[in-house]
Amino acid sequence: MKNYVVLLALFAILFSCTKEKTEISDTATTDSLMVTEDSMQAAASDSAAISGITVQDIAPEQGRAVFKIRDQALFYFDYHTQQGKITVGDKEYLLTRMDFTDNHYTLSGSGVEIKARNGEFSESSGDCIYGKFAEFTIHADHEVITLPGLNVQDCPVY
C-alpha cells in the first residue's frame, strides 16, 4: 500500500510539471506573436515616415551621391551624367544640380529643391565621405516635406 501511495504521488508530480510546462510554452508563443506583431507595426510606421517619396533601387558607387533613410535610397545624384532623381508622390523629378558647401547639400531641378543642412561627417573611407543630417527638406512644386534622419554616401569623381 505504501508503494501505491508513492507511485500515486510520483504521477501527480509528473502531471503537474507537464501542465506547467505546457502553460509556459503557450505563454512564450503568445509573447513571440505579440513581438512579431509589434515588429510588423513598427516596420509599417517606418515606411509611413517616408511615404510620399518612392524608395529607389540604386546603390552607392564611385561618381554618385546616394541619400538614404534607414538604408533605403530616396534620391541620388550622379556626377558623370550630372543628373539625379527623386520621386515625390506620383511625380518623378530630375535633379540637374547639386551643391555641397561645408556641411550642406542643396540639390535642385525643375520644380524641386532639396536642402540638407548642418550635417555631421565621419572620416572618409576610400574615395567616399559619409554624413548624417538630423533632418532635410524637400520643396516639390507647392508641397514641402521635412523628414528626419538622412544619411549620405558621397563618392565624387576627382
Check residue 1 and give its pLDDT.
57
pLDDT digits (tens, 9 = 90+) for 96-129: 999 998 889 999 999 999 999 999 998 777 889 9
pLDDT digits (tens, 9 = 90+) for 146-158: 999 999 999 998 7
Averaged pLDDT of the chain = 78
pLDDT digits (tens, 9 = 90+) for 48-61: 336 589 999 998 89
3-state class of 98 per DSSP? strand
CB proximity list for 138: less than 8 A, separation 6 or greater: 53, 86, 88, 112, 113, 114, 144, 145, 146, 147
Q: Please give the residue that has the higher pLDDT: either 65 or 17.
A: 65
Percent of all residues in the chain with a pLDDT value above 90, rounded to a whole number:
53
d(CA 20, CA 122): 53
| pTM, 2 dp | 0.67
Mean pLDDT of 77-90: 94
d(CA 118, CA 135): 9
CA atoms 84, 87, 88, 94: torsion sign: positive
Check residue 43 and give its pLDDT.
42
